[in-house]
Amino acid sequence: LQGRPAEATAAAEKALQLSTATAVQFLAGQIFVETGALTKAQELAAALAASTEPSVDARVYAKIVEAQIALKKQQPQPAIQLLLDANNLLDTWLGHFNLGRAYLEAGRFVEADSEFDLCITRRGEALTVMDEGPTYGIFPAVFYYQGRVREEMKTASFANSYREYLKIRGQSKEDPRVPDILTRAKN
């Protein structure tokens, strides 16, 4: 998010050297997607999908990473299907959050709004998205994406979503969403 993709990719690679835990693989996969290292992200998704772990977590995380890759490639329809499949395996907060993003990219604003409403209703789950520890830092993005959806829907309440985001992250000098929200608010 700070615009340093090479450093982020290197940190993810280092994390993978130190641990093969499912959560680490998943988080590294997400970083690889965000930094454009899609081949590495796909390799991790394949490794997660092939996991012999007894729980379904690895397979769900694999589908979420695959969906994020599809979104990065601007292919929302395959992403939507992957996320629906993931949520059918295991109903997760991350699955719904990413499904909302995929619906937004597909221009399916009503479905996106519904997914983000669900994420807000289930906000407590954002604290424990991963078993490794608290992860509430992911949660504020729901308000950003909800604001974008409602702005597209020409709903007057879009500004409320942006205000909620700014209450949490508005003082950040490094958050790229803050200037975007401030620009959107002026228009």
Residue-wise pLDDT for 100-109, tens only, equals 999 999 999 9
Instruction: Calculate what percentage of the chain has a pLDDT beyond 90.
Output: 70
Instruction: Calculate what percentage of the chain has a pLDDT beyond 70.
Output: 94
Confidence (pLDDT) at 124: 85
For residue 125, what is the DSSP state? Answer: G
How many CA atoms within 13 Å lie on the side-chain side of 79?
Answer: 24
Three-class SS of residue 74?
coil
Rounded to whole angstroms, how far apart are CA atoms 142 and 92? 14
The H-assigned helical ranges of 19-56 are 22-35, 38-49
* Predicted TM-score (pTM) of this structure: 0.90
> What's at 108, amino acid-wise?
R
Confidence (pLDDT) at 153: 95
Confidence (pLDDT) at 36: 95
Rounded to whole angstroms, how far apart are CA atoms 184 and 187? 5
In the predicted model, what is the mean pLDDT of residues 79-98? 96
**pLDDT level of residue 30 (50, 70, 90 thresholds):** very high
**pLDDT level of residue 176 (50, 70, 90 thresholds):** confident
Confidence (pLDDT) at 51: 87
In the predicted model, what is the mean pLDDT of residues 70-80? 98
Confidence (pLDDT) at 129: 62
Instruction: Please provide the average confidence, as pLDDT, over all residues in the chain.
Output: 91
For residue range 118-157, list pLDDT tens digits in order. Answer: 999 998 888 776 655 546 778 999 999 999 999 999 988 8
